[in-house]
């Protein structure tokens, strides 16, 4: 089983590249399912074929699906939402406003990933190609399980016991709805589901992400940030795909400056993401819609490469034993000291880059040790752990 996640800034051609990759793999004999988790689906438009909420066979070895994220949300969130609605109603919130407030933005996209897990476990496919939402939404849905895990493992059990203890007293003095075991059970099931999806998508034995970019300054800047955040959350990026490059056949002087700008940005992309391979796609003379045009794009994109192959292998997080203790290496390209916050508290290591924060629950071998220091070596943050000393545990590294 192989899973490929395609993401990028809105408008870069992510869906077209994902569809072409899936078609190329299928025509090579790989049983392939291409799935869209983007609420603004355009996968059916790329193939110029109807697609629905379940897998539809498009041709031999190729199936497509535009996941009904709203239906998945209702399946997984309904019990929790009903409690939140009753609480907001008790507080006097208007019913329409309460309906809106009871849903976390982006939650529908997160639940859509449960279909990816089901497809992976079905045994029906060799390759899953996932056309993700634009980068900001993708990062939110990939990082939520990590944040929720901390709450579920540290705060949730205590909260559940407290509510169970005080519910009889509160029910006598207030009409406010109190969460019961049914609600806590629903939260726990939600956590287990999201955790299993995250484990699947970050499993570097068979899952990787591919960034789709254009040779434009703002797109490249966002791709660099995305690359950093994906490494932060331990997702492997095995290729960067630069789309819509002016081909050499375009010699009109009107486009000469555009070609020079693209050449400069392409050089920046290759230098920035090395050693991750950068694949290129030309700007075509027409819109790449339909099977034959997508097949042409896929052949020119991958050449003799297998689209389903792992094009680059790297471990965003490494733990190495050393004579004096251990070192944890976290790959954070394009990150400087001023962009980073690092703090140790007990068994947790908090790493914040920009607006994204990850809580690393340290393995037992590291949790017993003190942090001796932290520094950047090339594009990796190195945190050194040594045997306990007289220094107080915790604080900023």
Answer yes or no: do 334 and 208 share one domain: no
Q: Is the pLDDT of residue 190 over 50?
A: yes
With respect to residue 311, please indicate whether it lies within any of the assigned structural domains.
no
The C-alpha atoms of residue 241 and residue 12 are separated, in whole angstroms, by 10
Residue ending a domain, choose from 300, 327, 360: 300
Answer yes or no: do 117 and 50 share one domain: yes
Mean pLDDT, residues 157-166 taken together: 53
| 163 vs 149: which has the higher pLDDT | 149
Answer yes or no: do 31 and 171 share one domain: no
Gap between the terminal Cα atoms of the chain: 40
Answer yes or no: do 120 and 252 share one domain: yes
Which pLDDT score, from 0 to 100, does residue 147 have? Answer: 63
Q: Is the pLDDT of residue 69 over 80?
A: no
Answer yes or no: do 42 and 157 share one domain: no
Structural tokens at position 253: 């002087």
With respect to residue 12, please indicate whether it lies within any of the assigned structural domains.
yes
Answer yes or no: do 275 and 381 share one domain: no
- CATH code assigned at 256: 3.40.50.300
Banded model confidence at residue 119, pLDDT cuts 50, 70, 90: very high
Residue ending a domain, choose from 195, 212, 228: 195
Answer yes or no: do 385 and 348 share one domain: yes
Answer yes or no: do 246 and 156 share one domain: no
User: Is residue 17 within 8 Å of 244, Cβ to Cβ?
Assistant: no
Of 89-98, 131-140, 239-248, the range with the lowest mean pLDDT is: 89-98
Which pLDDT score, from 0 to 100, does residue 314 have? Answer: 86
Structural tokens at position 396: 């900023």
Maximum mean pLDDT: which of 64-68, 93-97, 263-267: 263-267
Which residues form the domain of 258? Answer: 2-67+109-134+199-300
Strand partners, 278: 240
With respect to residue 168, please indicate whether it lies within any of the assigned structural domains.
yes
Q: Is the pLDDT of residue 158 over 50?
A: no
Mean pLDDT of the chain: 83
With respect to residue 306, please indicate whether it lies within any of the assigned structural domains.
no
Answer yes or no: do 85 and 226 share one domain: no
The C-alpha atoms of residue 315 and residue 293 are separated, in whole angstroms, by 35
- CATH code assigned at 366: 2.60.40.790
Which pLDDT score, from 0 to 100, does residue 197 have? Answer: 82
Checking DSSP bridges between strand 127-131 and strand 2-7, what pairing results, if any? parallel
Answer yes or no: do 161 and 226 share one domain: no
Answer yes or no: do 328 and 271 share one domain: no
Give the percent of the chain with pLDDT over 90. 46
Which pLDDT score, from 0 to 100, does residue 88 have? Answer: 61
Structural tokens at position 170: 């509160």
Answer yes or no: do 262 and 375 share one domain: no
Which pLDDT score, from 0 to 100, does residue 8 have? Answer: 92
**Domain count across the chain:** 3
Mean pLDDT, residues 44-64 taken together: 95
The C-alpha atoms of residue 224 and residue 227 are separated, in whole angstroms, by 5
Residue 339 DSSP code: G
The C-alpha atoms of residue 2 and residue 322 are separated, in whole angstroms, by 34
Residue 5 three-state SS: strand
Alpha helices in 91-202 (DSSP H): 95-101, 107-122, 135-150, 156-173, 181-201
Cβ contacts of residue 231 below 8 Å, gap of 6+? 237, 316, 330, 331, 332, 333
With respect to residue 250, please indicate whether it lies within any of the assigned structural domains.
yes
Maximum mean pLDDT: which of 24-38, 89-103, 313-327, 373-387: 24-38
Structural tokens at position 200: 């699947």
Banded model confidence at residue 396, pLDDT cuts 50, 70, 90: very low
Banded model confidence at residue 278, pLDDT cuts 50, 70, 90: very high
Which pLDDT score, from 0 to 100, does residue 165 have? Answer: 54
Residue ending a domain, choose from 179, 195, 211: 195
Which pLDDT score, from 0 to 100, does residue 188 have? Answer: 73
The C-alpha atoms of residue 6 and residue 87 are separated, in whole angstroms, by 39
Token pair 């966002």 is found at: 222
With respect to residue 83, please indicate whether it lies within any of the assigned structural domains.
yes
With respect to residue 307, please indicate whether it lies within any of the assigned structural domains.
no
With respect to residue 54, please indicate whether it lies within any of the assigned structural domains.
yes
């Amino acid at each position: 089983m192989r899973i490929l996640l395609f993401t990028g800034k809105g408008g870069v051609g992510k869906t077209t590249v994902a569809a072409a990759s899936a078609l190329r793999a299928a025509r090579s004999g790989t049983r392939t399912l291409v799935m869209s988790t983007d609420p603004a689906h355009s996968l059916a438009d790329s193939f110029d074929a109807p697609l629905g909420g379940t897998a539809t066979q498009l041709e031999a070895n190729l199936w497509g699906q535009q996941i009904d994220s709203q239906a998945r949300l209702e399946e997984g969130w309904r019990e929790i939402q009903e409690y939140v609605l009753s609480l907001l109603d008790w507080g006097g919130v208007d019913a329409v406003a309460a309906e809106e407030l009871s849903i976390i933005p982006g939650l529908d996209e997160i639940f859509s990933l449960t279909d990816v897990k089901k497809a992976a476990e079905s045994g029906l496919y060799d390759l899953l190609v996932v056309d993700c939402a634009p980068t900001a939404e993708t990062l939110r849905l990939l990082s939520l399980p990590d944040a929720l895990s901390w709450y579920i493992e540290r705060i949730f059990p205590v909260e559940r016991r407290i509510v169970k203890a005080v519910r009889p007293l509160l029910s006598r003095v207030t009409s406010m709805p109190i969460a019961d075991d049914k609600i806590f059970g629903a939260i726990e099931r939600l956590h287990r589901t999201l955790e299993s999806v995250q484990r699947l998508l970050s499993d570097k034995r068979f899952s990787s992400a591919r960034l789709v970019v254009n040779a434009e300054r703002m797109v490249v800047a966002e791709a660099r940030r995305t690359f950093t955040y994906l490494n932060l959350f331990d997702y492997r990026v095995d290729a960067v795909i630069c789309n819509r490059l002016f081909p050499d056949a375009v010699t009109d002087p009107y486009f000469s400056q555009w070609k020079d700008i693209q050449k400069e940005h392409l050089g920046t992309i290759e230098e920035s993401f090395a050693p991750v391979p950068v694949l290129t796609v030309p700007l075509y003379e027409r819109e790449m819609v339909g099977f034959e045009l997508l097949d042409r794009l896929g052949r020119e994109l991958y050449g003799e490469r297998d689209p389903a192959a792992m094009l680059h292998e790297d471990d965003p997080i490494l733990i190495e034993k050393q004579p004096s203790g251990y070192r944890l290496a976290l790959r954070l390209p394009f990150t400087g000291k001023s962009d980073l916050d690092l703090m140790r508290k007990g068994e947790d290591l908090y790493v914040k880059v920009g607006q994204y924060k990850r809580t690393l629950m340290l393995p037992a071998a590291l949790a017993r040790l003190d942090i001796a220091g932290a520094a950047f070596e090339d594009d990796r943050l190195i945190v050194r752990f040594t045997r306990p000393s007289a220094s107080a545990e915790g604080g900023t590294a």
